[in-house]
Amino acid sequence: MSPTVTTPETMPDPKTIRDNNAQVDRLVDGFENRVDRFLRRHRGKLHLLAFLLAVAWATPSLMAILLGLPLVAVGLALRTWAAGHLAKNTKLCTTGPYGLCRHPMYLANLIILAGILVAGNNVYMTAAGLLLTIAVYVFAIRREEALLCYLFDEDYAQYRQSTSCLLPQLTCSHPSNANERFSWALAWYNGIGEQTAGVVLLMILFAVKTTLLAHFGYYYPVTYGL
């Protein structure tokens, strides 16, 4: 069978996606679902707030940025790879990084976060970033898996049994959609351009702040000494 590519034109309309989410909200009632609904409703504002707090809180240095950049690059590459395979609410994705773990997007975000926290060079920023991210992802993953169970039923149950949640496996025994290949159009549709631009801008602002801190001779005892 020749390879196929999912394009944005084949994705469900926004109303279908909203209806699916509403159905899962009714099926997965409870505290975790209310938290996830709040996060989804205010995602843009929360991302902007996290961005501004990172810029304000960080105490970067040249060494910290150089150590954090490889992690950021690896995370962005993994997120791009995953975004080019993910057809949300359309089909069960098991190709690309989804053949190695069920949530490569979240794994990519964690790697990017690790790079940002290293570059930020601030103990308090690291503690807050890790605690908040872990708490958010516990709710997000549970709710997303409920949505996938609702949409794909037995197929997702089999896929879930053959793959780990976040830690990549060398092989995946679930062959569904094995002929799907990466699509740049789909990656762009899934927002990889905006996400990459935001991370790059943050690292640039870290570099600017590094210069300013060096110029004014500020010293922060909560850094990692980088």
Over the stretch 30-53, which tens digit does the pLDDT of each residue have? 666 677 677 777 778 888 888 999
> Average pLDDT, whole number, for the chain?
82
pLDDT > 90 in the chain, percent: 38
Contact 199, 101 (CB under 8 A): no
pLDDT at residue number 43: 79
The token pair at 118 is: 């290293």
Query: Among residues 8, 13, 1, which one has the least CA distance to residue 183?
Result: 8
The token pair at 101 is: 């773990």
For the purposes of burial, counting CB atoms within 10 Å of the CB of 10, is it exposed (0-12), middle (13-18) or buried (19 or more)? exposed
**How far is C-alpha 72 from the geometric centre of its chain's CA atoms?**
12
Handedness of CA 195, 145, 18, 30 (dihedral sign): negative
- Rounded to two decimals, the pTM is 0.85
Contact 94, 177 (CB under 8 A): yes
Handedness of CA 30, 33, 37, 39 (dihedral sign): positive
Position 1 confidence tier, pLDDT thresholds 50, 70, 90: very low
How far apart are the C-alpha atoms of 60 and 205, rounded to whole Å?
10
How far apart are the C-alpha atoms of 137 and 119, rounded to whole Å?
22
What are 56-77's pLDDT values in tens digits? Answer: 889 999 999 999 999 999 999 9
What are 85-135's pLDDT values in tens digits? Answer: 988 878 888 888 998 899 999 999 999 999 999 999 999 999 999 998 888
How far apart are the C-alpha atoms of 116 and 21, rounded to whole Å?
31
Query: Among residues 136, 116, 141, 138, which one has the least CA distance to residue 42?
Result: 136
pLDDT at residue number 207: 94
Q: What's the mean pLDDT in 188-192?
A: 91
- CATH no. for 13-215: 1.20.120.1630
DSSP state of 170: S
What are 133-179's pLDDT values in tens digits? Answer: 888 888 888 888 888 888 888 889 889 988 899 988 876 655 555 55
The SS3 of residue 164 is strand
Contact residues for 75 (Cβ-Cβ < 8 A; gap 6+): 108, 109, 110, 111, 112, 113, 114, 115
pLDDT at residue number 102: 93
Domain ranges of the chain: 13-215
pLDDT at residue number 88: 81
